[in-house]
């Protein structure tokens, strides 16, 4: 596909890194020539220097012949103008990054007039994911599929735990709870396990199931299912602005620490129950005086990666049960895991995943559509959700009779709003939502999981 990315910052870089791996023809537009030239040095992309909201610049980028134009600058207004112009010039589809909550209602009303195929708000999406992840206090991370009907939890196998040194086929706990171990990380490698796979202490397992079944699984293996009641947010970023109301509505008591007095006043004006504290986010004495040690969770949300790391490490050292860290750079995520920072997320990576999912869906016309996409182990494996239609070639056949490629696992089926952990006798039906875990790259159609 011919894709024009307007905005060469960190979001644009993440997009180009992922989309270029999927063999698309990419042109990046930005006013900062040095930034996009550095991108061109390491990626197979074309570059155009200029204002992406200007007609002449878009014309130079050949937006009129693009299959997709993605406006991902730091300006919401520029992104909307860019998409409107590109659509009128002839671009097939457009995606805009829009972060300001004040534009939300207008976009619903004006989506068609602006020519938008998709609107992405990374901060709002991140807030929703963090809020959902707080439900599982003992999970390192949580990914949600099929509109919340199936979750994928990441857990570390501990020494002397019920899971350690056992083959998956011998684990009664997964059968009792009706969950599935969908993937295993070990020493930086990922495995799609069969029944003979033996778990070891230190493994990170990814377990799929309905929410109630996963909670039962956690109780059976002796992991905490304690309800989150008190949370401290450190940093009054846009994510915090979206997250606080979600937590308030869930009955969670929230404290928020932010150094900028003006931001504190703005947040206090629209938050009903959150206690907003004006103070330096990395001030350890302040954090202690605000009872960080009594919190069920601490979430580091400043716009500075180093500050978020400092706060998170401080929370870990004071035995906070769940610590969530926002980082724009995830290059050292594996190192952070060794010091107890397991739950790390990046809104910019989430944007890229959402757009890659959308692009793959556009490329696919063979009977199934990608609904969601989640990467694990630094992108070495993917969990892809497909929506089946009545044109699928493998409907009505027991899974045990299907010839699937190696390193592919069907980890969940959602049918009529009900989550099914598949067994050999289960069959695919039209309108199912199917979760596939695989190490195969660029999986854009459900039929590609089967051997010829």
Classified as helix, coil or strand, 209 is strand
The verdict on 114 and 6 lying in the same domain is yes
Question: Residue 448: left (phi > 0), alpha (psi -120 to 50), or beta?
Answer: alpha
Whether residue 410 sits in one domain with residue 355: yes
Those residues whose C-beta lies under 8 Å from the C-beta of residue 215, and which sit 6 or more positions away, are 136, 225
Residues 235, 316 within the same domain? yes
Whichever domain contains 372, its CATH number is 3.30.70.1450
- 233 with 216, same domain: the answer is no
Last residue of a domain, one of 220, 246, 274: 220
**Is residue 196 domain-resident?**
yes
pLDDT in tens, the chain (452 residues): 999 999 988 888 888 888 888 889 999 999 999 889 988 998 999 999 999 999 999 999 999 999 999 999 999 999 999 999 999 999 999 999 998 877 877 777 777 777 888 888 888 889 998 999 899 988 988 988 888 899 999 999 988 788 999 999 999 999 999 999 999 999 888 999 999 999 999 999 999 999 999 999 999 999 988 899 999 999 999 999 999 999 999 999 999 999 999 999 999 998 989 999 999 999 999 999 999 999 999 999 999 999 999 999 999 999 999 999 998 876 665 567 666 687 888 888 778 888 888 888 776 554 567 888 888 877 789 999 998 877 667 889 999 999 999 999 999 999 988 999 999 899 999 889 999 999 987 788 888 888 86
Domain of residue 298 covers 228-320
Residues 174 and 281 in one domain: no
Same domain, 145 and 210: yes
Same domain, 285 and 201: no
Number of domains in the chain: 4
Q: Assess if residue 338 is contained within a domain.
A: no
Is residue 309 included in any domain, yes or no? yes
The answer to whether residues 356 and 435 belong to one domain is yes
pTM above 0.75, yes or no: yes
Is the same domain home to 309 and 392?
no
- Shared-domain flag, residues 178 and 156: yes
The verdict on residue 267 lying in a domain is yes
Cβ atoms < 10 Å from Cβ of 263: 18
Indicate whether 345 belongs to any domain.
no
8 Å CB contact between 341 and 116 = no
Q: Quick check: is 99 in a domain? A: yes
CA 400 – CA 391 distance, rounded (Å): 21
Kindly state whether residues 281 and 191 are assigned to the same domain. no
Domain presence at residue 433: yes
- 229: phi then psi, degrees, rounded to nearest 5: -120, -30
Can you tell me which residue has the tokens 């629209």? 270
User: Given 163, 192, 220, which residue is the final one in a domain?
Assistant: 220
| Residue where one domain finishes, among candidates 168, 196, 220 | 220
106 and 20 housed in the same domain: yes
Please check whether residue 334 lies inside any domain of the structure: no
Rounded Cα distance, 261 and 237, in Å: 13
């Amino acid at each position: 596909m011919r894709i024009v990315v307007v905005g060469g910052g960190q979001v644009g870089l993440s997009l180009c890194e992922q989309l270029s791996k999927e063999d698309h023809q990419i042109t990046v537009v930005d006013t900062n020539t040095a930034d996009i030239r550095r991108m061109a040095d390491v990626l197979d992309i074309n570059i155009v220097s200029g204002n992406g909201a200007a007609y002449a610049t878009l014309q130079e980028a050949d937006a009129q012949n693009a299959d997709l134009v993605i406006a991902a600058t730091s300006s919401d207004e520029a992104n909307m103008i860019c998409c409107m112009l590109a659509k009128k010039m002839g671009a097939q589809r457009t995606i805009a990054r829009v972060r300001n909550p004040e534009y939300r209602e207008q976009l619903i009303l004006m989506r068609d007039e602006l020519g938008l195929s998709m609107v992405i708000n990374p901060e709002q999406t991140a807030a929703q994911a963090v809020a959902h992840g707080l439900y599982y206090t003992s999970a390192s991370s949580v990914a949600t599929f099929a509109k919340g009907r199936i979750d994928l939890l990441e857990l570390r196998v501990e020494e002397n735990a019920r899971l350690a040194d056992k083959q998956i086929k011998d684990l009664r706990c997964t059968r009792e709870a009706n969950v599935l171990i969908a993937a295993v990380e070990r020493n930086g490698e990922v495995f799609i396990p069969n029944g003979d796979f033996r778990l070891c202490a230190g493994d990170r397992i990814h377990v799929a199931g309905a929410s109630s079944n996963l909670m039962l699984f956690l109780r059976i293996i002796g992991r905490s299912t304690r309800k989150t009641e008190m949370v401290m947010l450190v940093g009054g970023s846009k994510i915090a602005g979206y997250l606080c109301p979600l937590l308030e509505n869930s009955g969670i008591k929230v404290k928020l620490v932010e150094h900028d007095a003006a931001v504190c006043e703005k947040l206090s004006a629209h938050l009903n129950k959150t206690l907003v504290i004006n103070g330096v986010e990395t001030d350890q004495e302040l954090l202690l005086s605000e009872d960080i040690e009594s919190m069920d969770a601490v979430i580091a949300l400043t716009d500075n990666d180093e500050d978020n790391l400092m706060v998170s490490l401080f929370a870990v050292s004071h035995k906070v049960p769940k610590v969530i860290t926002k980082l724009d750079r995830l290059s050292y995520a594996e190192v952070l895991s060794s010091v107890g920072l397991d739950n790390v997320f990046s809104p910019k990576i989430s944007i890229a995943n959402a757009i890659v999912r959308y692009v793959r869906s556009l490329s696919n016309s063979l009977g199934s559509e990608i609904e969601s996409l989640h990467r694990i182990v630094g992108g070495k494996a993917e969990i892809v959700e497909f929506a089946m239609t009545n044109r699928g070639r493998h409907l009505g056949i027991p899974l045990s009779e299907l010839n699937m490629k190696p390193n592919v696992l069907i980890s969940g089926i959602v049918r009529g709003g009900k989550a099914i952990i598949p067994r050999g006798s289960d069959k695919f039906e039209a309108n199912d939502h199917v979760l596939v875990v695989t190490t195969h790259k660029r999986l854009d159609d459900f039929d590609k999981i089967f051997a010829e």
